[in-house]
Structure 1
Amino acid sequence: MSSPARLFGHGTVMIIALGLATAPARARLVQADLARVALAPPAGARAPLDLAATDAGTGQVVTLSSVIAGRPVLLLPVDYTCGNVCDPMVSMSVDALAATGLTPDDYALVLIGIDPRDDAAAARRMLADTLGDRAATVRPRALIVSDTALSRITTALGYTAIYDAGTDSFAHPAAALLLAGDGRVARVLSPLALTGRDLRLALTEAGNGRIGSLADRLTLLCYGYDAARGVYTPLIQRILTVAGIVTILAIGLFIVWLTRHARRRAA
């Protein structure tokens, strides 16, 4: 998991670096700071389900467990006042979830604010401005957490964002985490490159086959599809390679047989 996860961190570094190159001279982050920005969940990473947060929609104090309710979760750590990468991340994630054909009863879309200064009003404003009526389709839950709670969940998930006081903004990974219903990290995904089909397969896998159709489960079983990278897993790649070689050999032997058979008939 760590290799693709670190790719998201490096990709974010490039995005942020481009922004800093055009930002005012007051930007203070240097390459050493940007190198720390990454999403690299440790082995067996699990989100703390007893984490307390404020639901921006209702104002109630909830736990992550009550929000997840045993469903697979697409978790997006975002800056609620960031209009550069966070808005497109949320928008494209919602579009991909809507395209899965699943319902919010099958999954949860959870946003965690990475800027402790953002309040519930900022979270609601972001959802309204970014999603409009589309929010009703997937029912996202925007959570506000304390400094302590934020440190706890980001440490557990291997998520590192760096605050730039010069520009009053965060350099952070442009990535999402797919969690199983018990909080385990199942995948690290790029919300800027999700398709409905890929996300449906990933949610089906994270849901241990409890959601999705039989065809979805057969696809995962037979093809070994890796929704995080959009490729076949190494084992399946080897199987397909061997199968391809066997097919070519079989065709070659069939051609040889036809040639010999034609010669015998001609003689």
Structure 2
Amino acid sequence: MSVKPPGIDWKKELRYAVLLGAAVMGIWSFVAKPFYIPSESMVPSLLVGDRLVVAKYAYGFSYLSPFVPVLPKMEGRLWGKMPERGDIVVVKAPSDQKDWIKRVIGLPGDTVQMQEGVLYLNNTAVPKRPAAPTMIPESENMPCARPEFRVVEAGGAPFCRYPRFIETLPGGHSYAVIDLLFSYADDTPPVLVPQGHVFLMGDNRDRSADSRFSPEEGGLGMLPIENVIGRAEFTTFSLDGSQRFWNPVSWFTALRGDRAWLSLRDGDE
């Protein structure tokens, strides 16, 4: 004697789907969210194609969340605190309202200036020492910035060989930057960071729209702390751009194995 299988309880399934969606949105809004690196502004610390986790709770909570369309705008932050100099943060850019990632350089009350490619904080040059060049494998999403930086290893693999420097901020946080050539952003007037704002820069000093540029110029300007979404914690995996949706094998061959689970809160020496 056969037994007729029970039918699907669509109300129960819908309830589970709604609860799952609410849980995911809650985690993204208040705990952590994934982020994808779309540009070269944070090279060499981050490469195009890196995926990482951003802690949403690190600096408290503002109105900037997936629930923006249905919640009223809040002024200030709930349980808010300022980032530390050297933190890598994801922010909401005022110029296009998209998520950008930069490094915190200046805090309220700091005077920030660039002179001939050297960063000055409060009229004191931030130590910047030469380090071994960074060697980044050339890939579909990371072509070399200029032909003169492209080198080919003995085995035939092309790399982008960029001059690298180590900056050390007050407080001791060190990180790597690349500075390929002179640009007008290497010389800027001194600016005072207002209360409730931060000054941000990309580690790739020649290819970063950041607080050196106003929102009208496509940059960040002095960014209100409410626009800071969270702190970058660690990478999860990275793709070199060669993956193809219709070719599952390429999803694995495109992986950069050495880019997984890298802490983004450690110094770079």
* Structure (1/2) with the larger strand percentage: 2
Structure whose alpha-carbon radius of gyration is higher: 1
TM-score when normalising by structure 2: 0.21
TM-score normalised to structure 1 length? 0.21
